[in-house]
Amino acid sequence: MSDNDIDALIDLMARLPGLGPRSARRAVLHLIRKRALLLTPLADVMQQVAITARECLNCGNVGTTEICDICASEKRATGELCVVEDVSDLWAMERAGVFAGRYHVLGGTLSALDGVGPEDLSIPRLVDRVASEAISEVILALNATVDGQTTAHYIADQLEGQVKLSSLAQGVPVGGELDYLDEGTISAALNARKQL
């Protein structure tokens, strides 16, 4: 059997989302086999990220500076502010490469069940930003879940009359086949149909 360091590594890897004990063992054996190409570089960059990673004080994005690149760039001061639940959603928007403005990361959604209220998210800070920055439009890009939509409605109520509000359109994803979509998506796509 393996020794203490290796067991400790397996235990820690198994705590990552998407990896269980079995895939953690496979990953560790893979790391040991690819020591120079993978294990050592990974250890080094983790050490580095553990020191430098931080949340942007302005928007909540994760980077290595007090103010993230997007908030620091004057080119992104378009007046459009895209509100997302999580940093992973911000990164997904950036990969799409179609939004030129800035972001606001809520850090989750309102949830009566889990006892998450507005003050547990960065909603007060969003209201402050809209009042103090030159924001012309707030785009609510929350997930199309019950909690996501509840949160979007709450934020819309808070900002009503202060700024133009919009949300991402719901519909059939590009390349999506009707037969694979849930009824809610089909229903939303039908209701938002466009005349040709």
Residues forming the site for a copy of itself (CB under 8 A): 1-6, 8-9, 12-13, 15-19, 22-23, 25-32, 35, 38-50, 52-53, 61-65, 68-70, 86-88, 91, 94, 179-180
The structure tokens 């009824």 sit at 183
Pairing of strands 137-140, 164-167: parallel
Gap between the Cα atoms of 26 and 136, Å rounded: 50
Name which of 37 and 92 has its Cβ closer to Zn ion. 92
Gap between the Cα atoms of 79 and 138, Å rounded: 9
Q: Which of residues 66-105 bind Zn ion (CB under 5 A)?
A: 68, 71
Phi, psi dihedrals of residue 63, rounded to the nearest 5°: -155, -155
Name which of 71 and 84 has its Cβ closer to Zn ion. 71
| CB 6 to a copy of itself: min, Å | 6
Contact 30, 37 (CB under 8 A): no
Q: Could you tell me what percentage of the chain is helix, strand and coil, using 3-state DSSP and rounding each to the nearest 5?
A: 50, 10, 40
- Decide if residue 59 touches Zn ion (CB under 5 A): yes
Gap between the Cα atoms of 93 and 99, Å rounded: 7
Report the first-to-last Cα separation within the chain, whole angstroms.
67
| CB 118 to a copy of itself: min, Å | 21
| CB 172 to a copy of itself: min, Å | 17
Segment interacting with Zn ion, rule: CB under 5 A, options 24-32, 64-72, 110-118, 135-143: 64-72
| CB 86 to a copy of itself: min, Å | 8
Name which of 71 and 155 has its Cβ closer to Zn ion. 71
Contact positions vs Zn ion (CB under 5 A): 56, 58-59, 61, 68, 71
